[in-house]
């Protein structure tokens, strides 16, 4: 019985696999560097961020409710302005919170 040597991959396939591996290693290294830069962000920072996101949803919602109550008392009708503006406030608040979270993810520390 003759032994066969393992088949070698074409150079282009091997290059693609090496490139994918290189990209994966680079992404992992970037994540580790970012984690080291963000290590100084303690519990108080994240508690503040949690509060910021919470208030960015709560404030427009409460403003919508108060405006809706005023409109319902001033101009009563079939449409409930309170519910309409409550939903609008929640949607605007969620969009605002999404903006703050995305902004924080993009922001790089000044010392980097």
Residue pair 89/62 in contact (Cβ under 8 Å)? The answer is yes
Same domain, 99 and 48: yes
DSSP-derived secondary structure letter, 110 = T
Domain that holds residue 56: 41-112
Residues 32 and 79 in one domain: no
Using one digit for the tens of pLDDT, what is the confidence trace for 33-83? Answer: 877 776 667 778 778 878 888 899 999 999 999 999 999 999 998 989 999
Q: Is the dihedral of CA 89, 94, 95, 101 positive or negative?
A: positive
Nearest to 102 by CA among 56, 40, 33, 36: 56
**What is the C-alpha to C-alpha distance for residues 104 and 21, in angstroms, rounded to an integer?**
29
Q: pLDDT band for position 94 (50/70/90)?
A: very high
Both 64 and 81 in a single domain? yes
Distance, in Å, from the CA atom of 46 to the CA atom of 55, rounded to the nearest integer, reads: 14
Structural domain tally of the chain?
2
Does the predicted TM-score (pTM) go above 0.75?
Answer: no
Share of the chain above pLDDT 70, in %: 82
């Amino acid at each position: 019985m003759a032994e066969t040597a393992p088949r070698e991959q074409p150079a282009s396939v091997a290059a693609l696999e090496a490139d994918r591996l290189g990209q994966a290693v680079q992404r992992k290294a970037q994540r580790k560097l970012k984690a080291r830069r963000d290590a100084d962000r303690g519990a108080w920072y994240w508690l503040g961020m949690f509060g910021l996101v919470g208030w960015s949803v709560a404030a427009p919602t409460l403003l919508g409710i108060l405006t809706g109550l005023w409109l319902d008392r001033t101009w009563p009708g079939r449409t409930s302005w309170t519910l309409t503006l409550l939903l609008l406030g929640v949607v605007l608040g969620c969009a605002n919170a999404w903006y703050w979270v995305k902004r924080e993810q993009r922001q790089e520390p000044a010392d980097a």
